[in-house]
Structures are given as C-alpha cells and as structure tokens.
Structure 1
Amino acid sequence: MWGSLAKVFVPKISEENHPEQMLARVGIKPKEITHVVLSHLHFDHAGGIRFFPQARILVQKAEYRYAYYPVRSQPKCRMPSQRH
C-alpha cells in the first residue's frame, strides 16, 4: 500500500518523546506493557510496536484484513513525484 513512500518516510522523534523515555517518567518499562491496541496499521503508527516486545497486539479484524488484502479500487499512497 505505501510503496516507495515507506522507504523514505522516517518519523523523527526527540529523545524526550521516545516511548521508552515517556514510560520511564511514570516508572514503567516497555517489557511491562502487556497489550497494545492499534486503531489502524499505517507504519507511522504500527511501527512503534517494536518497543513493546512482550505485548499482545490487538487490531480490528477489518484493518488486519485490509493490511494483507487491500481494496484494489482504493488509491495507494504515492510519492508526489509519482502522482499523475
């Protein structure tokens, strides 16, 4: 779905806003997180699950299905240079 955009999109996050740092402020370690609920599977959201190695990942069935079998009639995300 994301095509070449996934190769160039790099979210920038400051050290103080990194998930591990934010959890540390309230005394929680990432490995203590038991569940992560994702509203959708765009990589800029779902990509952070790597910070929670012990967590069970929950996502709605329709979103999970779409991630593997996208609707062909829906436009894909493209780089601006790829738009016609």
Structure 2
Amino acid sequence: MTLYEFIKKFVRPNSLIKLWQHDIEGYKLIQEEGQSNACMEWKILSNKAWQCKYNDSKVLGVKDIVCDDFYREAINIVIEQIK
C-alpha cells in the first residue's frame, strides 16, 4: 500500500505525521533541511507539504518511536527505502 493510500484509509483527520526509513542502525527520520519534520495528514494528501513527494512509497508499517522533540505525538510511519 502506498503512503497516500495508507494515510487516506487509516489516519484520522488533523493528525501529525512523521516519516521514517529503516536502515542498518534501526530507523532514521526523513528530514529536509530548513523544514519541519512533521506535518498534518491533510497537507500530504493535498500535496501541500514536502513529504508528499513520498506519496507513492510503499508503507512498511507504523513504528512506536519515542522522540524527544516538539512533535513527540506524531504518527510515525515507516516507508520503503528510497533509492
């Protein structure tokens, strides 16, 4: 299932989302310099956030990743490694 499909089907409106990728050391937060690492689900679905470029990425699952940052209550979605 793609990220877009997953969010549309399983994520409730007005939820914060962070995207992660699995790597050899565990999980790595997907970030863009100068941008917030979390956004609302509707921004991804309406292509209004930088995270929307991952809409076609395969979702591997949801990971309970505790983060000591401002967005600690975001839904943490793990997507397939981008090549």
**TM-score under structure 2 normalisation?**
0.22
> If each structure's strand is expressed as a fraction of its own residues, which one has the higher value?
2
Whichever of the two has the greater Rg, that structure is 1
> If each structure's helix is expressed as a fraction of its own residues, which one has the higher value?
1
**TM-score under structure 1 normalisation?**
0.22
